[in-house]
Structure 1
Amino acid sequence: MPRFRKLSSACIALGAASLMVTTSVPLAYGHGYTSAPTSRAKFCQQGTVTNCGAIQWEPQSVEGPKGFPSGGPADGRLCSAGISHFAQLDDPRNGTWPTTSVQSGQSYTFRWQLTAPHRTTNFKYYITKQGWNPSAPLTRSALELAPFLTVNLNGAQPPTQSSHVGTMPSRTGRHLILAVWTIHDTANAFYQCSDVRFG
């Protein structure tokens, strides 16, 4: 009987160790991504874009410090929220990311899929300036730092499928929209970059 107990204890310990190893793999427990316009993170998760690294398993986890544009992630790391294992999102890929077609001045419904809603301060949407360089990583100097759409929630919790109606700015050609979801009761925000093309 003592030998059986020792064997059982060893099996339990081995099982616990296996569980620890398997749960160290990235898990989809996170928070939210934009589905309209489709974000780089979502394109990676869909497999539309390959060689994306870890973001393909967790497009909802692009979380970094809040306070953009005076704070937040560093320039050149805005699309990854400064997370090194999501750095593929910062790579402009020579301006070849898939785009969503939009029109200047159109009414547009921006959509987030929230896998774990949080109390929210606001959602803000920023866009690149006319003449920005789509072959370079995104920086503050490439963006209009006044958001073209702000949706204030003042601490309320949004639904898991959140929609925000706004007006697309006047632009031509390829641009990038940075969506920032600022959490009310933590020090963080979620960042999503979406490539768009104005017709």
Structure 2
Amino acid sequence: MSISTKLRSTAAVGAATALAFTLMPAGTASAHGYINNPPSRQAQCAAGTVSCGPIQYEPQSVEGPKGLMSCSGGNAAFSELDDDNYGWDVTPVGNSVTFDWTITARHSTSTWEYFIDGQQIESIDDGGAQPPANFSHTVDLSGYSGEQTVLARWNVADTPMAFYVCVDLNVGAA
């Protein structure tokens, strides 16, 4: 086989491989978890309650380094989650609230943390356990009233990453 035939053959295989990968259906994004009730900002995007960017397709994927205090987890693609004036529905609640989580990838968990205005209001140590696909945390909101945004942070045990969720509430309105 001549060198030019080998080159043409190699080029043809390369082109066919590139074409095959281009035509393959896109896989589902790596999935993780979010609060679905009361409806978090990303749950509202996924439901079409609020018109959002790419987060509407993967509400479970708001991942960023541990320690952040932003609804987007520092992801520019999900920056609308950081905008308090985006038109988020506000859920009326009493002096406590139960957050229902949907987990689509059960990462070992160090802690679940909940914040209002940068102040931690609850921390739950999971000691490296894997959460079930659906579960709830009830958080005491005593000392708060009116419209509040709760930031929930799910800290993964075996990576430097966390998942971020914001929920808009009207405390004391229920």
* Interval containing the TM-score (normalised by the shorter chain): 0.7 to 0.9
CA distance in 1 between partners of 2:71 and 2:85 (Å): 13
Alignment partner for residue 156 of structure 2, among 180, 183, 193?
183
Contact 1:28 1:57 in 2 (8 A): no
1:159 aligns with 2:106: no
Alignment partner for residue 145 of structure 2, among 172, 180, 195?
172
Deviations 1:90-112 (A, max 9, x none): 11226x310111112x4x32211
- Tell which structure's C-alpha radius of gyration is larger: 2
1:16 aligns with 2:21: yes
**TM-score of the superposed pair, with normalisation by structure 1:** 0.73
Does the C-alpha gap of structure 1 residues 14 and 126 become closer, same or farther in structure 2, counting only changes over 3 Å?
same
Post-superposition shift, 1:182?
0.3
- Over 4 Å off, 4+ runs: 8-13
Number of equivalenced pairs:
162
The structure with more strand, counted as a fraction of residues: 2
Post-superposition shift, 1:170?
2.7
Post-superposition shift, 1:148?
1.6
Does the C-alpha gap of structure 1 residues 13 and 178 become closer, same or farther in structure 2, counting only changes over 3 Å?
closer
Deviations 1:66-120 (A, max 9, x none): 1x2xxx25xxxx01111011011111226x310111112x4x3221100101000
CA distance in 1 between partners of 2:76 and 2:16 (Å): 37
**2:71 corresponding residue in structure 1:** 79
Structure 1 unpaired stretches of 5+: 1-5, 128-142
1:57 aligns with 2:57: yes
**2:4 corresponding residue in structure 1:** none
- What's the % identity of the aligned pairs? 40
Deviations 1:34-63 (A, max 9, x none): 11221100100000111x100000110000
**TM-score of the superposed pair, with normalisation by structure 2:** 0.83
Matched AA of 1:16: F
Does the C-alpha gap of structure 1 residues 169 and 144 become closer, same or farther in structure 2, counting only changes over 3 Å?
farther
Structure 2 unpaired stretches of 5+: 1-8
Post-superposition shift, 1:171?
2.2
Contact 1:123 1:180 in 2 (8 A): yes
Contact 1:148 1:169 in 2 (8 A): no
Does the C-alpha gap of structure 1 residues 196 and 83 become closer, same or farther in structure 2, counting only changes over 3 Å?
same
**What RMSD, in angstroms, separates the aligned Cα atoms of the two structures?**
2.2
SS across alignment from 1:42: helix
**2:114 corresponding residue in structure 1:** 125
1:103 aligns with 2:94: yes
SS across alignment from 2:49: coil
Matched AA of 2:93: V
CA distance in 2 between partners of 1:125 and 1:36 (Å): 15
CA distance in 1 between partners of 2:108 and 2:154 (Å): 10
Matched AA of 1:39: S
